[in-house]
């Protein structure tokens, strides 16, 4: 398939899990994928796998908690490519098992900074390119925890509730520019993120989320899917 031939796509948290699966899917669809995460070696491995399948990718190792690093990345994007048609804000962290009143401030800051502030900074930096082009897709990977209470995971839940509110509002701001802003909110996904377990066969797979992202970025011009909620087909 080459539905996205020539497109520039940015994926954060691209070194593993959902971000890796999304990056590979977009690469197979013809996009040049800009892989963003902290772990340079993991990004190199994902890039090699995309290129082995005939795709194109670049690696950009940076800390999304550093606004200056995000702006430097955006400047390199503008200088090198001058455009960006797809932004997938996928990077996320969490801390589970501790009530909010016992959650260290540094954990709160890291969770909110990665899950909510970083998408804001990425949108602020990249949306002007999409506005200039009159088109684009911004997809924020949220969670069902952004719709439901999460005992002993309040910081994570708050970050995803906030991300959902950001998504809905930015969608209204940017739709007049031909830019569609969507959120994908999965339940338990089979990654090394969060709480694990020996049997992961019942969980959503990263590729399932990648399939949804592929659908969102190939919508017909007259349609706008604003949110997709994803649940496992069966419970453990």
Q: Which pLDDT tens digits describe the chain residue by residue (236 residues)?
A: 579 999 999 999 999 999 999 999 999 999 999 999 999 999 999 999 999 999 999 999 999 999 999 999 999 999 999 999 999 999 999 989 999 999 999 999 999 999 999 999 999 999 999 999 999 999 999 999 999 999 999 999 999 999 999 999 999 999 999 999 999 999 989 887 655 556 778 889 999 999 999 999 999 989 999 999 999 988 77
SS3 annotation, 92-119: CCCCCCCCHHHCCHHHHHHHHHHHHHHH
Q: Is residue 2 part of a domain?
A: no
**Can you name the residues that pair with 158 across neighbouring β-strands?**
none
Tell me 178's DSSP state: T
Q: Is residue 235 part of a domain?
A: no
Active site residues: 156
Q: Is residue 147 part of a domain?
A: yes
Q: How far is CA 58 from CA 84, 96, 179, 182, 228, in A?
A: 14, 33, 24, 24, 28
| pTM beyond cutoff 0.75 | yes
Domain containing 28 — which CATH number?
3.40.50.720
Q: Is residue 3 part of a domain?
A: no
Q: At which residue do the structure tokens 């439901």 appear?
A: 148
pLDDT at 193: 67
**Number of domains forming the structure of the chain:** 1
Show Cβ contacts of residue 229 under 8 Å, excluding neighbours closer than 6 positions. 144, 147, 185
The residue range of the domain holding 188 is 8-230
Q: Is residue 1 part of a domain?
A: no
3-state secondary structure of 158: helix
Distance CA 37, CA 59 (A): 8
């Amino acid at each position: 398939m080459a539905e996205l031939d020539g497109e520039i796509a940015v994926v954060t948290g691209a070194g593993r899990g959902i971000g890796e699966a999304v990056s590979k899917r977009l690469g197979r669809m013809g996009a040049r994928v800009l892989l963003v995460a902290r772990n340079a070696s993991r990004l190199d491995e994902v890039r090699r796998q995309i290129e082995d399948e005939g795709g194109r990718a670049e690696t950009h190792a940076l800390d999304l908690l550093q606004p200056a690093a995000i702006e430097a990345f955006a400047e390199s994007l503008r200088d090198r490519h001058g455009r960006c048609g797809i932004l997938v804000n996928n990077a996320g962290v969490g801390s589970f098992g501790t009530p909010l009143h016992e959650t260290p401030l540094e954990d709160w800051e890291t969770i909110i900074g990665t899950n909510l502030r970083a998408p804001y900074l990425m949108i602020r930096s990249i949306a002007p390119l999409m506005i200039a082009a009159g088109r684009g897709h911004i997809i924020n990977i949220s969670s069902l925890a952004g719709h439901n209470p999460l005992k002993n995971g309040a910081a994570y839940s708050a970050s995803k509730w906030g991300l959902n509110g950001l998504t809905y509002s930015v969608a209204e701001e940017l739709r007049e520019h031909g830019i569609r802003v969507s959120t994908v909110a999965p339940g338990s996904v089979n990654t090394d993120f969060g709480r694990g377990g020996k049997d992961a066969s019942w969980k959503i797979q990263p590729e399932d989320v990648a399939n949804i992202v592929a659908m969102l970025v190939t919508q017909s011009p007259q349609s706008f899917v604003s949110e997709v909620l994803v649940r496992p087909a069966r419970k453990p």
